[in-house]
Amino acid sequence: MNRKLIATQLVALGLVCTLVVAVSAADTVPATVNPTPRTDNGWTTRDAAFNARVKQGNVDLLLIGDSITQGWEGNGKEAWEKYYGKRNAVNLGIGGDRTQHVLWRLDHGNIDGIKPKLAVLMIGTNNSHDNTAEEIGAGIQAIVKQLRAKLPDTKVLILAIFPRNPKPEAVREKNAKASQIAAELADNKMVYYLDIGPKFLTADGELTKEIMPDYLHLSPKGYDIWAAEIEPKVAELMGDKK
């Protein structure tokens, strides 16, 4: 075998090895951190409405998440009006969203051209069936980092993923672990973390239909608890006058 042929084969082998390594690296990137849009009409319509709203400006407070956050417009309507009605607040919650969907939204208009004082984030429960705690935690962290990059003057309050299902079980444990991973970004300067989950539970850790009728989405009482529990921190971070 001549030297040119050997050299050619070695170069080809090197390219194959490089390609294999690149593919393997790509495979290790979880879906939770890969910005991904949804295509259903309800989602695209609501996303477009968010973009139109923020273009109007006058946004001091953002609440970002999935259907639980979107529910401020339903069961949480009275609590929203009481706590956020005069705070120039915008609800950026869409039912069914996972971390990857929020990442895409934040990079495609949902926070463009605004300078809120505070963004409250509660996301991740819709990832809990398909992703590990580490993947979910990484997704939440990616959102926080994106918020910090695009809104450098905005404080971020990460909320632990709310408990779900009637009694303590594996999904709750996974979400709790994911929340702790997300909490690692809290520096108590620009990023903060609160876990108000226990406030929704009985003394023995049970979730009742009075708080979450379907063991996932909040009742009006549940939204009252949510708003009241984060209010001291929200007021502090927004610099509300006493």
**What tokens appear for 180 in the block?**
């702790």
- Among the listed residues 153, 187, 204, 214, the single catalytic one is 214
- Mean pLDDT check: name the lowest of 8-12, 22-26, 185-189: 22-26
Q: Which of 120, 69, 123 is nearest to 93 (CA)?
A: 69
Q: What does the pLDDT read at residue 9?
A: 54
- Among the listed residues 47, 60, 217, 219, the single catalytic one is 217
Cα Rg of the chain (Å, integer): 21
Q: What are phi and psi of 16, to 5 degrees?
A: -65, -45
**pLDDT of residue 223 exceeding 70:** yes
Q: Which of 140, 129, 210 is nearest to 169 (CA)?
A: 129
8 A C-beta contact, residue 111 and residue 156: no
Q: What is the mean pLDDT of the chain?
A: 92
Q: What does the pLDDT read at residue 124?
A: 98
8 A C-beta contact, residue 60 and residue 238: yes
8 A C-beta contact, residue 119 and residue 161: no
Q: Which of 95, 177, 110 is nearest to 140 (CA)?
A: 177
- Mean pLDDT check: name the lowest of 12-26, 117-131, 136-150, 191-205: 12-26
**pLDDT of residue 138 exceeding 70:** yes
Question: Regarding predicted confidence, which is higher, 127 or 4?
Answer: 127
Q: What does the pLDDT read at residue 160?
A: 98
pTM confidence score? 0.89
Q: What does the pLDDT read at residue 28?
A: 82
What whole-number distance in Å separates Cα of residue 105 and Cα of residue 44? 10
Q: What does the pLDDT read at residue 82?
A: 98
What whole-number distance in Å separates Cα of residue 236 and Cα of residue 242? 10
DSSP 117: S
- Among the listed residues 67, 107, 108, 195, the single catalytic one is 67
| Average pLDDT estimate for 190-194 | 98
| Average pLDDT estimate for 151-175 | 98
Residue tagged 């390609």 (tokens): 19
Per DSSP, helices labelled H in 38-112 are 41-55, 67-70, 77-84, 99-106
Name the band, by pLDDT with cuts 50, 70 and 90, for residue 21.
very low
Identify the structural domains of the chain with CATH numbers, from first to last. 34-238 (3.40.50.1110)
- For 99-117, what is each residue's pLDDT tens digit? 999 999 999 999 999 999 9
What whole-number distance in Å separates Cα of residue 70 and Cα of residue 232? 22
| Average pLDDT estimate for 79-96 | 98
Q: What does the pLDDT read at residue 121?
A: 99
Active site residue 214: yes
**pLDDT of residue 23 exceeding 60:** no
Name the band, by pLDDT with cuts 50, 70 and 90, for residue 24.
very low
Q: How much of the chain exceeds pLDDT 70, in percent?
A: 88
**pLDDT of residue 242 exceeding 80:** no
Strands of the sheet with 155-159, listed across from one edge: 89-93, 61-65, 118-122, 155-159, 191-194
Q: How much of the chain exceeds pLDDT 90, in percent?
A: 87
8 A C-beta contact, residue 190 and residue 156: yes
Active site residue 108: no
Q: Which residues contact 69 (CB under 8 A, 6 or more apart)?
A: 63, 91, 92, 93, 122, 123
